[in-house]
A and B are shown apart, each in its own frame.
Chain A
Amino acid sequence: QVQLQESGPGLVKPSETLSLTCSVSGYSITTGYYWGWLRQTPVKGLEWLGSIFHSGTTYDNPSLKSRVSIPIDTSKNQFSLRLSHVTAADTAVYYCARIWGASGYVEFWGQGTPVTVSS
């Protein structure tokens, strides 16, 4: 059974870069599938941030204006989220996920990690 676990700071200062890591167990990320990040807020609901394939192919949400990058570390079976120049609007619960297909549905979700942007 695939399991995903997010880790990283729960508090980030405005204008800094939010960094989270997703550790995957029960499946090798180099075998296939896309791996992605989503977030959820009471106001905007669920929002897809971006996805990556183990080859390095990435897709990201244009609404984030190129602030997103998703590094992947196949040796550790992990992928990460880097969201630059954060503001209070980036306060959310962040989820990592396994996505079926390049543009697909979310088969497996991490448990989610709350991140607050505040000075």
Chain B
Amino acid sequence: DIQLTQSPSTLPASVGDRVSITCRASESITMWLAWYQQKPGKAPNLLIYKASSLQSGVPSRFSGAGSGTEFTLTISSLQPDDFAAYYCQQYRTFPLTFGGGTKVEIK
């Protein structure tokens, strides 16, 4: 199975901050990576697919970058609604696998 390692696991931040989350894959997944946001008690919500494509309806302050084994999710200016957990997911091959998550919390 392809392992995904996210860092950091917790990210204290303030409104207006530029924040970045890293996802590293145990082998190359080319561009086949998605990012999700999850709030407590809710299902995850798709933000980014194919490493850098913004899902319809997702604010443009979210962006994704990377290829191969290293990927980044960036929020350009953190908003109050963005305090949540974020997960990466690879879909280059079965089984589909997820990273362990990064919780963006109020500093």
Contacts and interface: CB of A to CB of B under 8 A. Distances in A.
Given A45-B100, A103-B96, A109 B91 contact: no
Contacts, number: 52
A101 B91 contact: yes
B43 A111 contact: yes
A107 B44 CA distance: 10
B49 A61 contact: no
B89 A106 contact: yes
Of the four ranges (under 10, 10 to 19, 20 to 34, 35 or more), the interface on chain B belongs to 20 to 34
A45 B48 CA distance: 19
Nearest to B92: A103
The SS class assigned to the A binding surface is strand
The SS class assigned to the B binding surface is loop
A46 B36 CA distance: 11
A10 interface: no
Interface of A: 45-48, 59, 61-63, 95, 100-101, 103-107, 109-112
Interface of B: 1, 32, 34, 36, 42-46, 49, 55, 87, 89, 91-101
